[in-house]
Amino acid sequence: MPELPEVETIARALAPGLTGRVVTGIDVPDAKVLAGPATRAAFAAAAVGRMIESVGRRAKLLLIALGPRPHIAGDSPIVLALHLKMTGRFHIAPSADAPPAHARLLVHLGDGNALVFSDMRRFGTARLATPDALAAWKFYASLGPEPWDMTPEAFEAALCRKTTRIKAAILDQTVIAGVGNIYADESFFAARIRPDTPAKDLTPARRRKLLAAIQAVITRAIAAGGSTIRDYRTPDGVEGGFQHQFTVYGKAGEPCPTCGKALISIKVAGRTSTFCPQCQK
């Protein structure tokens, strides 16, 4: 599943081609993608005629800000929120091209191109909402801070009461936004923490070290264009590069890069978790 660095990479890559363009049409080859409005006609009517003001991200959601329709007095801006889930992908292609096999949503732009949202597994969603409605959306409202907005004090407050294992706490999007399995495992190795440690048992100093590790790992992953395990591609169709920098993720049985002992994997919070039994305590 694309995590924070992958969605951030996508947002940055799409922004130059989308910002300032006007939405001239919407095609929905698969209405299952629509989270609201639920019908093709209503979805298109809500979006067409609006200018794309920015392309951003919150947690693992891609957010495309659409300005008010100039022909409607007092019209509200809206946000197109796209959740990539397992296999969501974006690219920009000529509007005249036949949509690819797994295309779910096409946003036609005034320049003859279209933003194409493809999703092989069909779990991805597209939602149009006013900024107020977005903020009131239960899922959106529940999201914890972005890693860089998380203060050591807030992180401490969120974890000191947690009876779950630290990995479950980090994967909980209401604690900290955007961290999935890959970046959790990489951050635990960087902070020398076993992923199955009860969250409340970590000392404040070790929790601070973990937050710093999460911030550093995610920063490096964005710089590398995210990680490709299977399906993720940037909008240019290329793979991310951070998978070549993994220290432990997916490397059970391989030697620890620090001490050489074989890495092991266990299930924590229902997810395969790989770590060094010697370096991570």
**From the candidates 29, 257, 271, 277, which is the catalytic residue?**
271
Q: Is 160 or 259 the residue whose CB approaches Zn ion more closely?
A: 259
Residues 6+ apart with CB under 8 A from 233: 89, 239
121 is catalytic: no
Annotated catalytic residue 281: no
b/e per residue 39-73 (b: at least 16 CB within 10 A): eeeebbebbbbbbbbebbbbbbbbbbbbbbbeeee
Report the residue number, 120 or 279, with the smaller CB distance to Zn ion. Answer: 279
DSSP 48: T
Cβ closest to Zn ion, residue 95 vs residue 197: 197
Backbone angles phi, psi at 208, to 5 degrees: -65, -40
Strands (E), the chain: 23-27, 34-36, 52-58, 61-66, 78-83, 88-94, 103-109, 113-119, 125-129, 264-268, 271-275
**Closest CB to Zn ion among 114 and 256?**
256
Closest separation in Å from C-beta 181 to Zn ion: 20
The site for Zn ion (CB under 5 A) is made up of 256, 258-259, 276, 278-279
Q: Which residue is nearest to Zn ion (CB)?
A: 256
146 is catalytic: no
Closest approach, Cβ 251 to Zn ion, in A, equals 11
- Point out the catalytic residue in the list 50, 60, 69, 162: 60
The active-site residue, picked from 3, 6, 8, 186, is: 3
271 part of the active site: yes
Catalytic residue positions, numbered: 2-3, 60, 271
